[in-house]
């Protein structure tokens, strides 16, 4: 019997990204299936969607009744609250592991750069190195860079492996927030330790008290945000330079018909940094010319691109939902990837368009794909070869090429320090300009809008509508990840976007010429938002703990386990977090109540879920207003 044909949705219902839409249409005409159409064909399991199923042992899997969750218990007696909490905990553990393993790879690279084993990279931002060393009480005065760097390496390694005591980065946490964590017993140790304990406690027959499981969920997530992710960001800045605002071109229109187009997609900056070195090699440039190309066009996608674009002004082709679509242009002469958010199906789509698809990290191979391992000590061996493959493909391009025209220019690469620098001057009471503008009400509050795109919700739509509504209401928006790309494509990361902001925020933006939507970088750079929030507390006038801030976060179209880890480290830090379209919890359970209400009563932030972007904005603004009135700045 033939498989039932998939009923295809209208392209306008799948995405608001014009270039992606154009490529979905082309893919359908070419007979190439993309994940948008598979998402229509595969209906999510209604029980799994609410996380009401346990498969932690072979007495099960045990399925609960989502309509009446306390109707039954698992074979072992596990209640719905135990089951949902355990599943949530394992998602946090997986997300934390991803950021942490990435961070640890960065730290190993840092070590090998210091001890001279890696020669292709060096320390680009020694100032930041000294700054971080000092913030961790490492003596710097009169010492050689190398000695300080080695001490910093040893100190930061504890972020991952420490078995006892508090992590080094706890020195950055506002005191009152840290006090709360100490009282709850959730100050994180090394991420390895916390992930191990999380996995243990969620195994069959161990922790079966959802409130107690929640403590370890928070501790594990904090080991990500204030540990694995934060160290990754800091080391990337030290090695490759701290980003400063730069104009970047974004969207598929950055592809060039007459150049060798190479897409780099994934998460570790080293692959793209090494590709830049290879592409700048005069011999390789010459080879590209000999092949008839006008040059090599390196383009980032997803977090790899975000990480590197604001350091080098590199163009960016789009976010997670466009990685297959970009191949459909036929213009990609090679796509190379490292780790995370790499759809296995990219290989099949690449094959169809004769695009070499190359994996580079031993952790992440894809069946049938060419694997060229990137050796940190000699990275150009790998990246030279990738470019040669791309040049060869350029020369033998077979299929017709269709490059969408649209591209948008915006400014990206902000940091907390830069935001204050931009706003300029010092204000009465000694508050920083950001705090002063929040206190005087020109800026109502700050929102982090971050995270993935997902074919189960219209691509980019919620990101864009949510952010428009927030800035209209004078909320300054900080961005990372695929969300940042969505707003960049929609043209909201340029100074002109101030016209869409409310009067107060527009005034601030126009005075300094900054956009109301500030791109901070990749997902691990959410730690920049934590640092910004901490500094806002420490510089005064906005309460004593992170939970006092008129701030909120949102991941409107999330999909990865990493997003759950990020969401929860914000919640455990005291921030209100709204997730779009779904959350893996069973409705009407005590665990859900703990997420949505109980955590806030205990002094933490809390979770919420909403479908519609205007509803997300309403929830966030209501929370910001509540905090303003608690601070007494709600005139």
Residue 364 CB, nearest approach to ligand CUV (Å): 13
Residue whose CB is less far from ligand CUV, 422 or 478 = 478
The angle formed by the CA atoms of residues 505, 508 and 512, to the nearest 5 degrees, is: 140
SS (H, E, C) 190-210: CHHHHHHHHHHHCCCCCCCCH
Q: Does 459 bind ligand CUV (CB under 6 A)?
A: no
User: 349 with 32: CB under 8 angstroms?
Assistant: yes
Q: Shortest gap between Cβ of 72 and ligand SF4 (angstroms)?
A: 10
Taking CB within 5 to 8 Å according to partner kind, which of ligand SF4, ligand CUV, none is near residue 75?
ligand SF4
| Of 55 and 154, CB closest to ligand SF4 | 55
Tokens representing 152 are: 């910093």
Helix (H, G, I), strand (E, B) or coil at 555: strand
Give the per-residue contact string, 468-507, with ligand CUV (x = CB under 6 A; - = no): -------------xx-------------------------
Q: Choose the stretch contacting ligand SF4; rule: CB under 6 A; options: 49-57, 156-164, 346-354, 385-393.
A: 49-57
320 interface partner picked from ligand SF4, ligand CUV, none, CB below 5 to 8 A per type:
ligand CUV
Can you say whether the dihedral through the CA atoms of 380, 368, 91, 413 is positive or negative? positive
Instruction: Give the one residue of 62, 284, 563, 624 binding ligand SF4; rule: CB under 6 A.
Output: 62
* Least distance to ligand CUV, CB of residue 375, Å: 24
Are 339 and 266 in contact by the 8 Å Cβ rule? The answer is yes
Residue 43 is encoded by which pair of tokens? 């209906």
Interaction pattern, residues 76-115, with ligand CUV; x per rule: CB under 6 A: ----------------------------------------
* DSSP H or E run through 298: strand 296-301
Name which of 78 and 341 has its Cβ closer to ligand CUV: 341
User: How far apart, in Å, do the first and last CA atoms of the chain sit?
Assistant: 69
Which x/- pattern, by CB under 6 A, does the window 528-567 give for ligand CUV?
Answer: --------------------------------x-x-----
Distance in Å, CB of 208 to ligand SF4, minimum: 9
Q: State yes or no: residue 267 binds ligand CUV (CB under 6 A).
A: yes
Q: Rule CB under 6 A: is residue 202 a binding residue for ligand CUV?
A: no
Quick one: angle between helices 461-472 and 613-631, nearest 10? 30
Q: How many residues does the chain have?
A: 635
- The residue from 21, 27, 54, 91 that contacts ligand SF4 (CB under 6 A) is 54
Of residues 313 through 332, those in contact with ligand CUV by CB under 6 A are 319-320
**Is 204 near ligand SF4 (CB under 6 A)?**
yes
Strand residues in 404-506 grouped as ranges (E): 408-412, 445-449, 475-480
At 501, is the secondary structure helix, strand, or coil? coil
For residue 358, the cross-strand partners are 336, 370
Angle subtended by helix axes 526-538 and 561-573, to nearest 10: 10
- Please choose which of ligand CUV, ligand SF4, none residue 76 contacts, taking the beta carbon within 5 to 8 angstroms, the exact cut-off set by kind: ligand SF4
Own/partner pairs, 44-51, CB within 8 angstroms, 24+ separation: 44/456, 49/582, 49/584, 50/584, 50/585, 50/586, 50/587, 51/83, 51/84, 51/87, 51/88, 51/584, 51/585, 51/586
With binding defined as CB under 6 A, does residue 580 bind ligand CUV?
no
72 binds ligand SF4 (CB under 6 A): no
The tokens 């800045």 sit on which residue?
237
> Using CB under 6 A, which of the segments 70-78, 121-129, 256-264, 484-492 binds ligand SF4?
70-78
Cis peptide before 249 (omega within 30 of 0): no
Q: Report the alpha-carbon distance of residue 449 to residue 472 in Å, rounded.
A: 15
Say how far apart CA 128 and CA 311 lie, in whole Å: 15
Binding site partner of 74, from ligand CUV, ligand SF4, none, Cβ cut-off 5-8 A by kind: ligand SF4
Q: Which does 341 bind (CB under 5 to 8 A by kind): ligand SF4, ligand CUV, none?
A: ligand CUV
Which residues in the 297-316 window bind ligand CUV by CB under 6 A?
302-303
Residue 217, C-beta contacts closer than 8 angstroms, at least 6 positions apart: 85, 88, 89, 92, 198, 568
Q: Is 339 in the site for ligand CUV (CB under 6 A)?
A: no
The residue from 56, 102, 311, 468 that contacts ligand SF4 (CB under 6 A) is: 56
According to the binding rule CB under 6 A, does residue 61 interact with ligand SF4? yes
In the list 59, 127, 401, 622, the residue contacting ligand SF4 (rule: CB under 6 A) is 59
Minimum Å gap between C-beta 560 and ligand SF4 is 24
Is residue 250 near ligand CUV by the rule CB under 6 A?
no
Pick what 522 binds: ligand SF4, ligand CUV, none; C-beta below 5 to 8 Å, kind-dependent: ligand CUV
Whole-angstrom Cα distance, residue 187 to residue 124? 32
Taking each helix axis from N to C end, the angle separating 269-280 and 229-240, rounded to the nearest 10 degrees, works out to 20
Binding of ligand SF4 at residue 57 (CB under 6 A)?
yes
Task: Collapse the DSSP code of 370 into the 3-class scheme (helix H, G, I; strand E, B; otherwise coil) and give the result.
Answer: strand
| Binding residues for ligand CUV (CB under 6 A) | 267, 302-303, 319-320, 341, 451-452, 481-482, 522-523, 560, 562
- What is the contact surface with ligand SF4 in residues (CB under 6 A)? 54-57, 59-62, 74-76, 78, 83, 204
């Amino acid at each position: 019997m033939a498989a039932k044909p998939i009923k295809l949705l209208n392209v306008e219902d799948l995405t608001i990204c014009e270039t992606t839409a154009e490529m979905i249409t082309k893919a359908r005409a070419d007979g190439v299936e993309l994940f948008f159409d598979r998402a229509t064909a595969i209906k999510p399991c209604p029980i799994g969607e609410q996380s009401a199923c346990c498969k932690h042992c072979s007495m099960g899997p045990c399925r609960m009744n989502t309509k009446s969750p306390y109707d039954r218990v698992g074979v072992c007696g596990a209640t719905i609250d135990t089951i949902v909490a355990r599943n949530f905990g394992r998602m946090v553990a997986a997300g934390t592991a991803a950021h942490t393993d990435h961070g640890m790879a960065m730290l190993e690279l840092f070590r090998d750069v210091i001890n001279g084993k890696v020669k292709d990279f060096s320390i680009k931002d020694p100032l930041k190195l000294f700054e971080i060393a000092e913030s961790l009480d490492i003596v710097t005065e009169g010492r050689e860079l190398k000695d300080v760097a080695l001490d910093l390496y040893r100190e930061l390694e504890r972020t991952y492996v420490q078995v006892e005591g508090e992590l080094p980065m706890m020195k950055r946490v506002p005191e009152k927030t840290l006090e709360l964590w100490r009282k709850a017993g959730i100050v994180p140790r090394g991420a390895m330790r916390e992930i191990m304990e999380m996995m243990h406690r969620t195994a069959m027959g161990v922790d079966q008290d959802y409130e107690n499981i929640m403590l370890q969920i928070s501790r594990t997530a904090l080991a990500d945000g204030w540990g694995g992710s934060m160290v990754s960001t800091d080391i990337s800045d030290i090695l490759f330079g701290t980003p400063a605002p730069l104009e970047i071109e974004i969207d598929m229109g950055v592809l060039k018909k007459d150049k060798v187009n190479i897409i780099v997609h994934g998460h570790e900056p080293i692959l793209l940094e090494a590709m830049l070195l290879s592409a700048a090699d005069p011999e390789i440039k010459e080879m590209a010319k000999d092949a008839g190309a006008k040059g090599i066009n390196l383009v980032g996608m997803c977090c790899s691109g975000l990480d590197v674009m604001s350091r080098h002004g590199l163009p960016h082709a789009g976010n997670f939902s466009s990685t297959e679509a970009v191949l459909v242009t036929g213009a990609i002469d090679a796509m190379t990837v490292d780790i995370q958010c790499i759809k296995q199906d990219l290989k099949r789509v690449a094959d169809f368009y004769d695009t070499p698809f190359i994996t580079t990290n031993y952790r992440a191979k894809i069946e049938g794909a060419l694997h060229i391992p990137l050796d940190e000590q000699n990275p150009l061996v790998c990246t030279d070869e990738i470019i040669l493959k791309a040049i060869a493909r350029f020369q033998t391009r077979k299929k017709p090429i269709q490059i969408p025209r649209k591209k948008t220019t915006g400014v990206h690469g902000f940091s907390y320090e830069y935001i204050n620098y931009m706003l300029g001057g010092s204000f009465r009471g000694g508050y920083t300009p950001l705090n002063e503008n929040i206190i005087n009400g020109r800026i109502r509050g700050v929102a982090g809008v971050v995270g993935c795109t997902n074919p189960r919700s219209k691509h980019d739509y919620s990101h864009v509508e949510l952010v428009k509504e927030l800035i209209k209401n004078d909320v300054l928006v900080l961005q990372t990840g695929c969300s940042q790309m969505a707003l960049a494509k929609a043209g909201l990361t340029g100074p002109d976007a101030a016209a869409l902001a409310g009067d107060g925020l527009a005034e601030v933006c126009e005075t300094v010429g900054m956009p109301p939507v500030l791109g901070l970088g990749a997902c691990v750079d959410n730690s920049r938002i934590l640092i910004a929030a901490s500094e806002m507390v420490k510089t005064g006038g906005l309460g004593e703990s992170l939970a006092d801030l008129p701030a909120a976060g949102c991941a409107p179209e999330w999909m990865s386990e990493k997003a759950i880890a990020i969401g929860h480290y914000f919640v455990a830090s005291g921030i209100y977090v709204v997730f779009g379209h779904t959350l893996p919890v069973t409705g009407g359970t005590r665990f859900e109540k703990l997420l949505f209400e109980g955590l806030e009563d205990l002094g933490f932030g809390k979770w919420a879920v909403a479908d519609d972007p205007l509803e997300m904005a309403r929830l966030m603004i209501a929370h910001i207003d509540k905090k303003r009135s608690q601070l007494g700045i709600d005139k």
